[in-house]
Amino acid sequence: MKKKAFIFDLDGVIVDTAKYHYLAWQKIATELNINFTLEHNELLKGVSRVRSLDIILELGKVEASQEDKNRWLIQKNEEYLTYLVDMDQSEILPGVMSILKFLKENNQPIALGSASKNARPILEKTGIIHYFDAIVDGNDVTNAKPDPEVFLIAAKLLGTSPENAIVFEDSVAGVQAANIGKMTSIGIGEEAVLHEAKYIFKDFTHIEMSFIENLIEKK
Ligand code: B16
Ligand code: MG
């Protein structure tokens, strides 16, 4: 049995912050007269803040100066942060706590691998930061998902090879990053969206502990 590494994405996997990102971006899009739907929002999942703005501007065929872009990036994050003020443990998605506890009880290394620069305060507010042996977020990487950098750093910090790392992801870009990094990708969400993942579950309540046990014991 080889030492494993369990790497969790944050937004859309541990907490349902995707809805807050969406609302914050929608405000900017509305101001710019850009039609930005929930379907468009899928393109932003797992993608950095800077790239997200570019995608929205491309959707609206809007060309903007760097100065304007910088202003909108600040505005978006300020708006997003207002949704985090009252965040607590109740925002943790169903089934997540049981898996984190099970992994800890079984002495499995756990890391966060998120594109978000707001990851640490979210883990603190939800009271689960102590579950993580390593935290790699948007402040630590230069290449955004689907580049595997964030997960490769996480696996390294946990002292495991990429082949023995297991990644939970809700975004297409994140699943691709795990696959490119030769890790086991577990998609959390809709099969139609995440079909590139090795395993797909609608949410964590659909994952049996025997499935996790098998991953731990896999050679
Ligand atoms: P921030 P994840 C990602 O987090 C989100 O999915 C994505 O929608 C967001 O744009 C990105 O973080 C950056 O977040 O603006 O807080 O730095 O899913 O990789 O945990
Ligand atoms: Mg995500």
Domain end marker among 29, 51, 84: 84
Query: What pLDDT digit, counting tens, does each position of 49-76 carry?
Result: 999 999 999 999 999 999 999 999 999 9
Ligand 1 pocket test: pick from 17, 27, 114 the residue with the most ligand atoms within 8 Å of its Cβ: 114
Q: Which CATH number does the domain housing residue 166 bear?
A: 3.40.50.1000
**Confidence at residue 2, expressed as pLDDT on a 0 to 100 scale:** 80
Q: Which residues line ligand 1 (CB under 6 A)?
A: 9-12, 21, 44-49, 52, 77, 114-118, 138, 171
pLDDT digits (tens, 9 = 90+) for 130-187: 999 999 999 999 998 999 999 999 999 999 999 999 999 999 999 999 999 999 999 9
Determine how many CB atoms are found less than 10 A away from the CB of residue 3: 13
Find the distance separating the first CA and the last CA of the chain, reported in whole Å: 5
For the chain, what is the domain count?
2
Give the Å distance between the CA of 18 and the centre of ligand 2: 7
Q: Which of 5, 2, 7, 3 is nearest to 158 (CA)?
A: 5
Residue 21 Cα: closest atom of ligand 1: 8
pTM of this structure: 0.94
In tens, the pLDDT along 10-46 reads: 999 999 998 999 999 999 999 999 999 999 998 999 8
Q: Is the pLDDT of residue 1 over 80?
A: no
Q: Which of 66, 84, 102 is the last residue of a domain?
A: 84
CATH of the domain at 51: 1.10.150.240
Residue 206 belongs to domain spanning:
5-16+89-217
123 & 33 share domain:
no
Let me know whether 11 and 45 are in one domain.
Answer: no
Residues 62 and 102 in one domain: no
* Tokens representing residue 107 in the block: 């002495």
